[in-house]
Chain A
Amino acid sequence: MTPHENTVIIDKLVKRFGDFVAVDDVSLTVKRGEIFGFLGPNGAGKSTTIRILCALLAPTSGVATVAGYDVAREPEAVKLHIGYMSQKFSLYDDLTVGENIEFFSGIYGVPRDIRDERRAYALRMAGLEEKEQTKTSLLAGGWKQRLALGCAILHQPPVVFLDEPTSGVDPLARRAFWDLINELSHAGHTVFVTTHYMEEAEYCHRVALMYRGRVISLGTPHDLRKQLRSDTLPEPTMEDVFVSMIEREDAALAGGKS
């Protein structure tokens, strides 16, 4: 793999549920090792896109490849090369930390010779070295999320999908979680993450703003803010960018209709 190879390629992706268009003609590429953020209000189509990329949903039309495999035609291969943390994912509460790791290690088919090493890595990453025997239900939210991430990358997948991984986690734990994401990126994992915390967009290499199923803006956080800079708004935040983009989109939609 060359350092700048594209690990996620989406081309004219469409997903319809009946009359409702959840994902509307989305095209983008994500490079290896990149932290790619998906921003947008609830119902914008972020989770649907991620689910298609994880081969959990079939696209209506368009093509998406992940780690070189077509999500519609090679779902089995895709699943061997990704790690996924869904919004609701919270591990198995009645199992201990160690048992959860062991289960996912078995499910992902982590080779025997590196299994102990990966287990130790996941424990260290989650900061739970001493808590292997602890029941998962007794862990605080932040630890749970980090353990969940640890379990999702036991098989060292080239691409990791995180759907709102930090929702409902306190700010300090969120910070720690993003340190982990950075670590993964440095280790060569591509991280595809959705969030609705605007300040978290700053930690991404590039972000896509998604609204009503469409990507309405895409670039580095710096570039997006620069576009909006003006005399009245010399230091726009990501939130300013987000709001103005959506307003512009709504205006265009309203204009198109009249």
Chain B
Amino acid sequence: MISFRRTRAMARKEFLHILRDSRSLYLALMLPVVQLILFGYALSLDVDRIPILLFDQDRSPQSREMLAQFRGSRFFTVLGDIESYQPGEYAITSGTAMAVLVVPRRFGEDLAAGKQVPVQLLLDGSDSNTASIALGYARAMVAGYSNQLRTEYQIRNGAGEIKPPVDPQIRVMFNSELKSKNYIVPGLIAVILMILASMLTSLAIAREWENGTMEELLSTPVRASELALGKLSAYFILGALDTVTIVLAGVYFFGVPLRGSALVLGISAGIFLFGAMSWGLMLSAITRNQLQANQLGLLSSFLPAFLLSGFVYAIDSMPALPRFMTYIVPARYFVAMMKGVFLKGVGMELLWGEGLLLLLYATVVFVILTRKLRQKIA
């Protein structure tokens, strides 16, 4: 039987440690806010305001009309007009421009004559993701202009307006503006909580070993499960506080919609924290060394939570090996739950699978943790 009194004594003591250790308190309360602001802003995956240079060799009304579309677009920022290739190439090499659009001589003339006219786009491929998005924008804009011309031509020739045979009707669900912060912030909650939880707890048992108090504790009637639960509950209070802070910042500061229930969010965050904190304590119990536990905690929480959780990098497009690895990363399930609750507004009826897996993970880690604590000294 677990004794409530012993567990409570343990939790109280651990909470006092947290209050007295200004460094970890600062870490616990400031880190999430700083990370959220850093990642929330820096990690914007939206591609807009692409810096572009325009090289108009033709200077005809037609070329000016097409380029005006680029000048007016929010996807491009026109840095200026150039007179030759050289400054354009230099700008791409030095990184001041991402693209150069070249309109060839006789563009207007050939168009009027009904010929097909090429337009050249120079792109900086060193950031392939942004480049391919910029390519898409440019292509769409040129195609738009080209369609407009064709329609005008047809009308002028009395053929009437001919609509394109297939017209895609697109409706983006859940994040209709395709804003990256809307999916980054919910995922970020998972990453921040994972890092925080395992960093904070990674010291908690190693410290007792290093100070010699662990041997004392082992000689008292306190059981491994009471020790673990007591410590967990102290850190859990901190983690819950952090969760509330991050969610509020996400909703009110970043304007991410919270469409689902706050209760579902709270329950899933609770299960996730329990697992992540047990993980940190387990590392602490295994290494018995604060430095090692801390480094292992950072390494084993940050990298998987960042790379393998589906937070930024889509799991479906990963190669087979990393894709299979994601199944053992608890953050993966929590990220899915957070996106579901925040953006899709779904509840446990759809998220119970992830919830159960998180619970399973937490339970397994907790059991290993108590096993480790039960081991004798030396």
Interface on A for B, CB 8 Å cutoff? 17, 51, 54-58, 76, 79-80, 82, 84-95, 99, 102-109, 152, 161
Contact = CB atoms under 8 A, between A and B. Distances in A.
The residue among A91, A92, A105, A107 with the most chain B CB atoms within 10 A of its own CB is A107
A86 B216 contact: yes
Contact of B12 (A79, A85, A103): A103
A79 B16 contact: no
A169 to B, nearest CB: 16
A152 B215 CA distance: 13
B82 to A, nearest CB: 66
Contact of B377 (A56, A82, A104, A161): A56
A57 B220 contact: no
12 contacts: A56-B219, A56-B377, A79-B219, A88-B215, A89-B212, A89-B213, A89-B215, A104-B220, A106-B6, A106-B9, A107-B217, A107-B220
Given A82-B219, A109-B6, A92 B376 contact: no
Contact of A107 (B6, B17, B21, B215): B6
A86 B215 contact: yes
Interface of B: 3, 5-6, 8-10, 12-13, 16-17, 20-21, 211-213, 215-222, 376-378
A94 B21 contact: yes
Contact of A80 (B17, B221, B377, B378): B221
Nearest to B218: A56
A243 to B, nearest CB: 30
B212 A86 contact: yes
Given A89-B216, A92-B13, A152-B216, 13 more contacts: A86-B215, A88-B212, A89-B212, A91-B213, A94-B20, A95-B20, A102-B12, A103-B9, A106-B12, A107-B10, A107-B221, A109-B5, A109-B221
Contacts of B12: 102-103, 106
B17 A92 contact: yes
A57 B378 contact: yes
Nearest to A161: B219
B220 A108 contact: yes
A107 B9 CA distance: 6
B371 to A, nearest CB: 16
Contacts of A56: 215, 218-219, 376-377
Given A103-B13, A109-B3, A90 B211 contact: yes
A50 to B, nearest CB: 10
A93 B21 CA distance: 11
Contacts of B20: 94-95
Nearest to A53: B219
A80 B6 CA distance: 13
A109 B4 CA distance: 10
B204 to A, nearest CB: 13
Contacts of A88: 211-212, 215
